[in-house]
């Protein structure tokens, strides 16, 4: 059966079916992204912390803007080529449109990759450190010498180990029988083997099964198979015990109903109790956890996101308990490329304190000579900026007398006063004033961030070790770091999915539309027009996203 109005417009609306459908779909999309934009505005206005300003690289965002605009033009040319029955030009224009989509996603992928490899840390006093963590070196390698790739320690997957690990001098481990994570057990066994330590069952474990009693002797080495056997017996015991208790409870209810006729359940509930003596011989031994000892006590390392550390006892996310002393586990920043005192200064102002004094007393400036020097340089540059603004814009005038007051018309912003960025570090290392910092980045650095290895030759970025007790919260520049990054990844990620989806549809018309074109050129032209409408919407969304996230 032929579906009407696929190619021929309806008489009442003048539109084909697919065009009506795309306009309805786009109306729902407008409401979706409109909700996101509104949420972003309200979150920014109501933020109780300094909102990130121009935190994203402008160049790739600007390039992507022109890329999408160009693709919107060429998709129209592709449609026009079909209307003129010029198949070759259609292929060229549509191919360029799809190429633009690929360029957009590549640049977006680079941007995401930079964010997922950039570390941020918030301290208890509110100061924020941004940069890149170092990687652990093999014993005996000079950290200040020329480092080769072979000098780094690698984890069990062959990846470099970031200097952000929790170290515990482990004397005992207690695994949750049903929740233990196999990969973590394997890592623990591997580390223990490297340290020549043995992990064995702490005491004899007797578990009853329907086939008889199974005994696990004290001193049995820890293995995945051992934990799985104990888990199977534990689950079987719980199943059996649950069945026994349920059957006993049914029998007690039946007896209670016989002894208390014409009464409802809540009236006889206090008389229904399971007699332990009746089920004692039917219950099997459960083992919800199993303890192992580590001999000798050895140093094990864990990722911060996997462990809740304690002075003498720590716990993994799978409920494995680690008995042992917490060792020094600092976060080591090989490159500190930004220091942000805005939140600390904001809280100081709320308490009626001098923000400058609060910053001076911060842990960072008290414990890092390099950051102290950078802050002193920064204060000098801000003083120069203040004087420049006074000379250029002057002072406010008194409304009554018309005479100048002591209040400058323009002052450095809160961000300029209390945030040191990587361009500031670069200007300081090069011996240039802060006003020249915009000339510092190369084109590649404007896309991917600073070239750490090249700039390290001038000792541009400070090195820093932060004790674990000074780590209030740490994360990559991912959704977990702040509300800003959560909504940034949500909005740009959703937009990216629209780009991919639209490109796939347009690619289908390019590579598989010849048959439709030969059958009825107008049919394919209508389909490309509908796809083009969606593509224009994708472009329009980005035109709103770019200034909102990248420029404001």
Phi, psi (deg, nearest 5) at residue 301? -120, 145
Instruction: Provide the token pair at 60.
Output: 């790739």
Note the pLDDT tens digit of each residue in 330-340: 888 988 989 99
Note the pLDDT tens digit of each residue in 77-89: 999 999 899 999 9
Closest residue by Cα to residue 94 from 79, 113, 116: 79
Residue 319 burial (C-beta neighbours within 10 Å; 0-12, 13-18, 19+): middle
Higher-confidence position of 443 and 200: 200
Higher-confidence position of 481 and 148: 481
pLDDT of 346 reads 92
Cβ neighbors of 2 (< 8 A, separation 6 or more) are none
Mean pLDDT over 268-285 rounds to: 82
Of 46-60, 102-116, 127-141, which range is least confident? Answer: 127-141
pLDDT of 156 reads 63
Phi, psi (deg, nearest 5) at residue 350? -65, -30
Question: Could you tell me if 324 and 170 are in contact, meaning their C-beta atoms sit under 8 angstroms apart?
Answer: yes
pLDDT of 79 reads 92
Domain locations in the chain?
A: 17-118+478-551, 166-328, 339-470
pLDDT of 520 reads 82
Collapse the DSSP code of 97 into the 3-class scheme (helix H, G, I; strand E, B; otherwise coil) and give the result: helix
| Architecture of the domain spanning 17-118+478-551 | Up-down Bundle (1.20)
Q: Which helix (H) or strand (E) holds 396?
A: strand 395-397
- Round the average pLDDT of the chain to a whole number and report it: 87
| Start-to-end C-alpha separation, the chain | 55
Cβ neighbors of 301 (< 8 A, separation 6 or more) are 165, 166, 167, 168, 191
Of 263-272, 357-366, 371-380, which range is least confident? Answer: 263-272
* CA–CA distance, 545 with 494 (Å, rounded to integer): 12
Note the pLDDT tens digit of each residue in 4-37: 655 566 656 656 666 777 888 889 999 999 999 9
**Residue 447: C-alpha distances to residues 336, 438, 452 (Å):** 19, 14, 14
pLDDT of 11 reads 59
Quickly count: other Cβ atoms within 10 Å of residue 415's Cβ: 15
pLDDT at 1 over 50: no
b/e per residue 489-508 (b: at least 16 CB within 10 A): bebbeebbebbeebbebbbe
Quickly count: other Cβ atoms within 10 Å of residue 434's Cβ: 19
Of 455-459, 472-476, 500-504, 509-513, which range is least confident? Answer: 455-459
pLDDT of 2 reads 53
Note the pLDDT tens digit of each residue in 480-522: 999 999 999 999 999 999 999 999 999 999 999 888 888 888 8
**Residue 302: C-alpha distances to residues 99, 117, 308, 317 (Å):** 44, 19, 10, 11
DSSP 167: E
**Angle CA 446–475–145, to nearest 5:** 65
Phi, psi (deg, nearest 5) at residue 312? -125, -15
């Amino acid at each position: 059966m032929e579906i009407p109005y696929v190619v021929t417009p309806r008489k009442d609306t003048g539109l084909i079916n697919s065009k009506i459908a795309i306009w309805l779909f786009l109306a729902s999309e407008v409401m979706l992204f409109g909700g996101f934009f509104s949420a972003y505005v309200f979150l920014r206005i109501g933020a109780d912390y300094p909102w990130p300003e121009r935190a994203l690289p402008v160049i790739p965002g600007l390039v992507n803007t022109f890329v999408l605009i160009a693709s919107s033009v060429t998709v129209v040319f592709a449609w026009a080529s079909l209307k003129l029955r010029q198949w070759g030009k259609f292929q060229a224009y549509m191919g360029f449109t799809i190429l633009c989509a690929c360029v957009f996603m590549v640049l977006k992928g680079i941007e995401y990759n930079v964010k997922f490899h950039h570390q941020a840390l918030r301290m208890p006093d509110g100061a924020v450190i941004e940069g890149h963590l170092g990687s652990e070196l093999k014993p005996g390698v000079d950290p200040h010498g020329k480092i080769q790739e072979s000098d780094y320690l690698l984890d069990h997957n062959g990846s470099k180990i970031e200097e952000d690990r929790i170290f515990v001098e482990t004397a005992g481990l207690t695994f949750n029988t049903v929740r233990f994570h196999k990969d973590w057990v394997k890592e623990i066994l591997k580390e223990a083997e490297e340290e020549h330590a043995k992990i064995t069952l702490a005491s004899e474990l007797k578990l009853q099964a329907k086939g008889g009693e199974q005994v696990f002797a004290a001193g049995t080495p820890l293995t995945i198979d051992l934990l799985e056997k104990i888990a199977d017996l534990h689950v079987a015991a719980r199943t059996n015990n649950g069945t026994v208790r349920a059957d006993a409870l049914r029998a007690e209810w039946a007896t209670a109903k016989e002894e208390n006729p014409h009464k409802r359940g809540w009236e006889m509930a206090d008389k229904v109790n399971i007699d332990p003596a009746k089920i004692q011989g039917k219950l099997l031994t459960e083992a919800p956890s199993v303890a192992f000892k580590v001999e000798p006590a050895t140093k094990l390392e864990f990722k911060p996101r996997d462990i809740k550390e304690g002075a003498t006892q720590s716990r993994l996310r799978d409920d494995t308990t680690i008995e042992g002393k917490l060792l020094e586990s600092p976060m080591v920043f090989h490159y500190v490329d930004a220091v942000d005192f805005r939140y600390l200064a904001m809280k100081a102002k709320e308490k009626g304190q001098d923000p400058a004094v609060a910053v001076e007393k911060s842990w960072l400036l008290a414990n890092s000579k390099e950051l102290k020097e950078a802050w002193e340089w920064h204060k000098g540059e801000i003083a120069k900026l203040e004087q420049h603004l006074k000379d250029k814009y002057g002072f406010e005038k008194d409304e009554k007398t018309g005479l100048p007051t002591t209040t400058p018309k323009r002052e450095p912003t809160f961000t300029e006063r209390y945030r040191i960025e990587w361009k500031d570090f670069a200007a300081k290392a090069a011996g240039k004033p802060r006003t020249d910092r915009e000339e510092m980045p190369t084109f590649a650095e404007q896309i991917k961030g600073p070239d750490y290895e090249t700039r390290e030759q001038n000792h541009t970025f400070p090195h820093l070790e932060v004790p674990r007790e000074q780590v209030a919260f740490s994360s990559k520049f991912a959704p977990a770091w702040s509300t800003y990054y959560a909504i940034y990844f949500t909005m740009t990620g959703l937009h990216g999915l629209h780009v991919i989806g639209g490109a796939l549809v347009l690619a289908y018309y390019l590579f598989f539309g010849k048959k439709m074109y030969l059958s009825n050129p107008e049919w394919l032209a209508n389909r490309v027009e509908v796809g083009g409408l969606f593509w224009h919407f994708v472009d329009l969304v980005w035109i709103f996203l770019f200034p909102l996230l990248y420029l404001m």
